[in-house]
Amino acid sequence: MNKKHIAIFASGKGSNAQKLIQHFRNNSSAEISLIVCNNEKAEVLQIASAEKIPSFLISKNDSLQKLISELRNHQIDFIVLAGYLLLIPAELIKEFPNRIINIHPALLPKFGGKGMYGMKVHEAVKSSEEKKSGITIHFVNEEFDKGKIIFQAEVLLNENDSPQTIAQKVQQLEHEHFAREIEKIISTG
Ligand code: GRF
pLDDT in tens, 10-57: 999 999 999 999 999 999 999 999 999 999 999 999 999 999 999 999
- pLDDT at residue number 145: 84
- pLDDT category at 155 given cuts 50, 70, 90 is very high
Quick one: which atom of ligand 1 is closest to the CA of 12? 12
Domain boundaries, the chain: 4-188
Q: What is the mean pLDDT of residues 71-96?
A: 95
Domain 4-188 fold is Rossmann fold (3.40.50)
CB proximity list for 131: less than 8 A, separation 6 or greater: 156, 157
Whether the Cβ atoms of residue 36 and residue 110 lie closer than 8 Å to each other: no
Alpha-carbon distance values, 140 to 35, 84, 112, 161, 180 (Å): 18, 12, 13, 30, 18
* Choice from 15, 16, 170 to test ligand 1 binding pocket (greatest atom count within 8 A of CB): 16
Nearest residue by C-alpha to atom 5 in ligand 1? 83
* Residue 143 pLDDT > 90: no
The percent of residues above 90 in pLDDT, for the chain, comes to: 90
pTM for the structure as a whole:
0.95
* Residue 61 pLDDT > 80: yes
- For the chain, give the longest Cα–Cα distance: 50
d(CA 71, CA 67): 6
In the DSSP assignment, the letter for residue 96 is: S
SS3 155: strand
Torsion of CA 26, 99, 75, 89, to 10 degrees: -130
| 136 in contact with ligand 1, CB cutoff 6 A | no
- pLDDT at residue number 189: 66
| 169 in contact with ligand 1, CB cutoff 6 A | no
What average pLDDT is seen over the chain?
A: 95
- Give the least confident one: 79-83, 84-88, 128-132: 84-88
5 catalytic? Reply is no
The percent of residues above 70 in pLDDT, for the chain, comes to: 99
